[in-house]
Structure 1
């Protein structure tokens, strides 16, 4: 039996890296070898060496992303990044993977001496379909892993049907109209809850929205992979998982991974944590702080910043704000001006606010002082908030975040969905509702307790991860597709 060795290849964005590193940690705990494939740019930014020291079965390699070294790799450059990965990155990936599947009977002078067996399986980001195709062409079984919610994956998969039904594109601006073409979500999904690029379609095709075109095609391509992995749990997204299972060769709900196999924080972040915020939290009363973090890609205008700040100050709670240097759509150095504006708004109450460029979010959300989380509703942040029972105020930015915020506000009931509005009065009311509502507090606690059961030994997600490890070992042992599929039960 070949020794199982998994090459994991995430898209080079912070949220994807977080999820894949937790996943890799779980594979290492199960005794598998892991090669983690970064881009050159990201590997230079991360503390990969320290993470690799944690296990002799983990190594980090990299391929180019096709962009110049000085490219800022911001959200508006995502189409160019994806193009670079499809061209320059895919060629380098093919050559690298071909070298990693070779079995050398006798070591030669070119061996690196790291003792790694040949790669026997690839787990590639679902939005990098070329990584699945190339692996299979080289005789390596490939699995797709989507780092967004199962509900978002199902919505992307349903876009062609929405166009066929005439629900896309929109012919008016009634964003609260229900969407009927995404199975299992008919009772709560509105136009405004679809991935935001859907609002920009002008014809019965996605070609005028390149990013949407790319993601919709990649989602459909996941049908070709040996299986689809999702960082979720059956208790959170059972209807979406059930419908997805009808379209994929197999589906594994193996999350939230950070709750089962947390990776070292330094290895997952492209930004350096400012740990000083933890001492500030220590000085605050229990459940009193609003934690504000809009993720790694969100960009806000000066006007949006002003409305968010005014609403937070009016709500009257102390707040911890993660303000990335590249988050504000202002001139270079604009983040310093925004920091000054925050401190001016709470003049005389300096201990009521803490502003940092990046925070150790998992530690923050677990802190006794945090009462609610004003979030962009990225799936990692959503899953982390859910697992720790933190109430949320959701202000989504793009992609899957619109659906995630709807789950929080209308399905799970553990927070307030504030999408499409950035007005100080709404911010104030939403924060107060999340902080003061007993119903929201109870819903957040119930969901957290269920997720803890799911991720504990014998829970649904833990069992799914064990099934996945067996699936990978079978793929590593034989060429034929394994017959390990079983019905997904609630």
Structure 2
């Protein structure tokens, strides 16, 4: 077959973390459903985790145009790749530049039935991918798997420094910020990413994100895992830097919509987890009353101090609500904890603790009425789609920004940042699940309706995905 008549071939290269990988696997399947060939490129470590804990291989067997490929991340095999080592991981990834170029120019990714790569979709955080793409003449589109509102904060970091709003003192945490267009009147220093509190303009974490406003516009376009009805005003601000925007989220729900309309497609549930899921929590949820359970999960990276862990646990038990809590083996710093008998008793009576849960399935379960979350973007969108109100206890990066928007702008829950006290945890759980339950559920139901409408034919995300596919075909 003439290679010119073969489908376009897209290389997708996500940041090697659970959240970005989860989002981009969904995008890969959406593009396969659209008739494109896809090479999904991850680090060797992520490939191992995916093959061990997810069903990516069996799920993608129905897509002959899909190929999973990997390259080293430059770190030793036993490196923990934990949150403490993220800076080391990000620096090490830059060594991938030559490996990526060699992979794209070696002919390894093409065959009689597959064209060479015609388009790259890479995480915009990895700017070297754009350099490689430009060198070998392949069009590149960036994808960002954080919220649009946090990305816009990154874009505005130089303006914050120029205006003198960065750095700031500890006593200025509740001072409102004036130099981020579209966030005037409600956004505080406290709501900036945590690295902005260092007081040091030379902070390596700050330096990582200082050039987002010049880096992201370099690509042919920018894909965002959001939808216009949720973040439209902020998306409009980003468009002043990146005119060619594709808002195609929520990606996990978009994929479900497409699969529902594809009778020939795989019926396997989508699992992209880098951890082993414990599904024993589902029968436990089945035994609980409707909308009674508060689901608690702080994602794949967040870690707690022992004191925070105990305070959260007391607050959950004292609230009187049934709770399902995800506690990873590395969730708590510095080893074992002596568990007070009242916590053991309270958990035995109305709690369930697992190491990792099938989160999309949990949030869609009729027994779940609230979500105590770290406010990672995937978790936030999954909660939005299912109409589950949130209590936000952010950990780092975009989560401080997301939690402010959840509580203050979208009115989908409560922002509990910068506090971890059993009395406050109990109070907020009761407020979400009992005292203001109807108010939050009404707001959450309205946003869930919009999240589903944008994916229907003619909806904003539906049309933007069509435009993305057509643009890739035209390359």
TM range (shorter): over 0.9
CA distance in structure 1 between the partners assigned to 2:33 and 2:144 by the alignment:
21
Aligned to 1:79: 87
Match of 2:292 among 288, 299, 304: 288
Q: Residue 372 in 1 paired to residue 380 in 2?
A: no
When structure 1 is superposed on structure 2, of 447-456 and 170-179 the one drifting more is: 170-179
Aligned to 2:98: 91
Alpha-carbon deviations, 1:224-269, whole Å to 9, x = none? 0001110000010111100100111411111001001159666511
Instruction: Summarize the alignment of residues 313-392 of structure 1 with structure 2, pairs less than 5 Å apart.
Output: 313-331=317-335, 334=336, 337=337, 341=339, 345-347=343-345, 350-392=348-390
Q: Residue 27 in 1 paired to residue 21 in 2?
A: no
Structure 1 runs not aligned, ≥5 long? 104-110, 476-490
C-alpha change, 1:174 and 1:4, in structure 2 (3 Å) is same
RMSD: 1.8
Alpha-carbon deviations, 1:115-158, whole Å to 9, x = none? 32211000000111111221121110001100000010000000
Q: Secondary structure at the match of 2:172?
A: coil
TM-score by length of 2: 0.92
Instruction: Check conservation: 2:156, 2:213, Cα contact below 8 A.
Output: no
C-alpha change, 1:445 and 1:408, in structure 2 (3 Å) is same
Aligned to 1:178: 176
TM-score by length of 1: 0.90
Matched residue count: 455
Aligned to 2:263: none
Instruction: Check conservation: 1:122, 1:140, Cα contact below 8 A.
Output: yes
Which runs of at least 4 in structure 1 moved beyond 6 Å after TM superposition?
none
Instruction: Summarize the alignment of residues 11-410 of structure 1 with structure 2, pairs less than 5 Å apart.
Output: 11-47=15-51, 48-87=56-95, 89-100=96-107, 115-202=113-200, 205=201, 207-208=202-203, 210-262=204-256, 267-331=271-335, 334=336, 337=337, 341=339, 345-347=343-345, 350-410=348-408
CA distance in structure 1 between the partners assigned to 2:343 and 2:272 by the alignment:
33
CA distance in structure 2 between the partners assigned to 1:397 and 1:219 by the alignment:
24
Aligned to 2:446: 446
Q: CA deviation at 1:16?
A: 0.5
Q: CA deviation at 1:458?
A: 1.9
CA distance in structure 1 between the partners assigned to 2:309 and 2:347 by the alignment:
20
C-alpha change, 1:100 and 1:408, in structure 2 (3 Å) is farther
CA distance in structure 1 between the partners assigned to 2:119 and 2:199 by the alignment:
38
Instruction: Check conservation: 2:155, 2:212, Cα contact below 8 A.
Output: no
Instruction: Check conservation: 2:152, 2:238, Cα contact below 8 A.
Output: yes
C-alpha change, 1:164 and 1:28, in structure 2 (3 Å) is same
Q: Secondary structure at the match of 2:67?
A: strand
Q: CA deviation at 1:49?
A: 2.5
C-alpha change, 1:311 and 1:463, in structure 2 (3 Å) is same
Instruction: Check conservation: 1:126, 1:219, Cα contact below 8 A.
Output: no
Instruction: Check conservation: 1:309, 1:342, Cα contact below 8 A.
Output: no
